[in-house]
Amino acid sequence: MTRTAPPGQRPDASMTLLNTMLQRPLDPGYAAAADRREAQGRPRSTSLRSPLLAIATVLIGLLVGIASYNLTTANKPRSQARADLITQIEDRRAEVDSLAAKATTLQGQVTTLEGDRLGTDAVTVRNHDLSVAVGTVPLQGPGFTLTLDDAPGAGADDTAEGGQAQQGQVIAKDLQYVTNALWRAGAEAVSINGNRLTSTSAIRFAGSALIVDFRPLTRPYVITALGDQKGFPAAFADGAGGTYLSTLRSSFGIRVDTEVSDKLTVPAAVGLTTRYARSGDTGAATATPGATGTPSPTPTPERSTP
Amino acid sequence: MIPAIGLSLGIIIGLLLQPAVPVWLQPYLPIAVIAALDAVFGGVRAILDGIFDDKVFVVSFLSNVVVAAFIVFLGDKLGVGSQLSTGVVVVLGVRIFSNVAAIRRHLFDA
């Protein structure tokens, strides 16, 4: 069954908007003005030499010129702000580096002075042993370095977006696993790119950057591990760490270099602070003082911003 | 001839002076440029059709720019963002396209 359009109505009447746009795109004002002039006996078209037209064209040109200057990306305030932020970041990072170096020097002086002042009694010896374990003193000794780098052609430029690591990139989990395996194999001190790892260190991902103790790392990642046990490197290579590294190498193409050396240095940790345990719930502790003979509630470590 | 000279003079002045447009005005620039282009191509077609009128040209240019700016402003205030400006771009784009097609027919008979 076909429906014919009523007489006098176009079959495509429902598409008038499209038709007017496509068939009569010219301002109807032009035709109307031309008809009016013709009725008055003047030519259909006016001269192109009118001052009004000249002013209008200069205005249009000005608009286009201003827009093309202001809309190019180089002049946007956003890119200016971005450049400012980048300089700020670089300045602050340099500041952090110089302050960290200063802190390390001062810490070394403190340690030397302490060693001079304190004798060789048991407490001092214990203090020394503990500072080695905690990481407040630089250490030197035998060990090996692991150099991890992204697979060739992976993530050399910032192609990874949204914090998603590409296949061939070293991620925080790799470093975490490797350092844990190092501790398990008997390492006494570990540092990544000159950042000494302590019991409070964190290896994390921020965006596409690896961060150790809130300091961003740059490729390649050099892990220095000290350990004077016999066969410490072999213990690592035979253990879970070695297996993990060989998987990284064979499956993802991550470059891993191991170098055993007799004389390696690991710097002291920067920014170590003492944290005091504090009673978490004093109200409950005073309510039943010694009723069950238990000591004060389990101290919870204070969460402080590092 | 005079319109072409005026147009290039304006562009050169704009590029040389490099005036900084305030940030609140920047969203209106692209739409204003498209509206101006529409007026220009409409004017060229009218010249070729032999029905050019300077007053109509100036009024159509000014009203195009004002209406386009108003639509961007309205879309911003209504919270529909750039969707209203998309409508402006589509309508003006189609007009520019057909005007250029008409100019082409005039110039090349094809």
Predicted local distance difference test score (pLDDT) of residue A193: 85
Tell me what pLDDT residue A91 has.
Answer: 93
Q: Which two tokens stand for residue A108?
A: 């070394």
Give me the tens of pLDDT residue by residue for chain A, a chain 306 residues long: 555 556 666 676 776 767 766 666 566 778 888 888 888 877 777 777 788 888 888 888 888 888 888 777 655 667 778 888 999 999 998 998 898 888 888 888 887 887 777 767 777 788 778 878 788 778 888 888 888 888 776 654 444 444 444 677 888 888 888 888 888 888 888 888 888 888 888 888 877 778 887 777 887 888 888 887 677 778 888 888 888 888 888 888 888 888 888 888 888 887 677 777 787 765 544 444 433 444 444 444 443 433
Mutate to test the interface with B, among A21, A45, A66, A79 (most CBs of B within 10 A): A66
Indicate whether B6 belongs to any domain: no
CATH number for the domain formed by residue range(s) A140-270+294-306: 3.30.70.1880
Does the structure's ipTM exceed the value 0.85?
no
Query: Is B3 a member of any domain?
Result: no
Residues of B whose CB is below 8 A from A23: 98
Enclosing domain of residue B80: 23-108
Which residue, among A142, A134, A144, has the nearest Cα to A268 in the 3D structure? A134
Q: Which residue ranges in chain B fall short of pLDDT 70?
A: 110
Closest CA to B72 of B83, B85, B62: B85
Return the domain boundaries, chain A. Answer: 140-270+294-306
pTM, entire model: 0.47
Q: What is the pLDDT of residue A3?
A: 56
CB contact under 8 A, B33 and A53: no
The number of distinct structural domains making up chain B is 1
Cβ within 8 Å, pair A49-B99:
no
Beta strands A189-192 and A255-266 are unpaired
Give pLDDT, residue A8. Answer: 66
Is B79 inside a domain boundary?
Answer: yes
B65 is a domain residue: yes
Count Cα atoms within 13 angstroms, Cβ side, for A174. Answer: 27
| pLDDT in the model for residue A160 | 43
Contact between A64 and B53 using a beta-carbon 8 Å cutoff: no
Residue A230 tokens, joined: 């016999």
Q: Which residues of B touch A65 (CB under 8 A)?
A: 10-15
* CB within 8 Å: B6 and A68: no
Q: Which residues of B touch A71 (CB under 8 A)?
A: 26, 29-30
What's the CA gap between A6 and A101, in Å, rounded?
A: 91
Instruction: Say yes or no: B63 contacts chain A, CB-CB below 8 A.
Output: no
Cα(A143)–Cα(A232) distance, rounded to whole angstroms?
Answer: 8
| DSSP run (H or E) holding A161 | none
Residue A134 · residue A199 · CB < 8 Å: yes
Query: Kind of pairing, strands A209-212 and A203-206?
Result: antiparallel
Shortest Cα distance, chain A CAs vs residue B80, angstroms: 22
Burial of residue A200 (CB within 10 Å: 0-12, 13-18, 19+) is middle
